[in-house]
Amino acid sequence: MNIGTASGASGISQRMIRHYEKIGLVPAPVRRGTYRDYTDSDVHRLRFIANARDLGFPIEEIRTLLGLWSDRGRSSAEVKELAESRAAELGRKARALEIMQRSLIHLAQACHGDDRPDCPIIDRLAE
């Protein structure tokens, strides 16, 4: 299949597919003339990458996961460790986002939002 079909089947944009090829996350497909020719296996790999990205894994961890995925002799302990580490990092980020949200809500509530120039939001940003 061509890159457009592979993109539609995997949910990954053509631009990102090319990027993943460039960084070696996806092997370069066979070429038919000037066209890339993707297989069902390529699309399966792209879906794996998309699912990993949706779960917040960065590229280098996806590279590790792809290696583990293809290693049928692996233990699940390493995969579990990666998942738990990513979940903990996402928890830290979620807490930080909650703090930022509460701060913005507090600042917005303190702002009169009228024609006057004084604004606690601007004042806080200028600190």
Residue 25: Cβ within 10 Å count: 18
Best CA proximity match to 68, nearest among 60, 78, 59: 78
pTM of whole model > 0.85? Answer: no
What six digits make up the tokens of 75? 């233990």
Q: What is the domain partition of the chain in residue ranges?
A: 3-74
Measured CA to CA, the distance from residue 123 to residue 127 in angstroms comes to: 6
Q: Would you tell me which CATH number, out of the four given (3.40.50.300, 1.10.8.60, 3.40.50.1400, 1.10.1660.10), belongs to the domain 3-74?
A: 1.10.1660.10
Quick: pLDDT tens for 43-63.
Answer: 999 999 999 999 999 999 999
Residue 34 CA to residue 2 CA, distance in Å, equals 11
- Count Cβ atoms below 10 Å from residue 64 Cβ, excluding itself: 14
pLDDT (tens digit per residue) in 18-42: 999 999 999 988 888 888 899 999 9
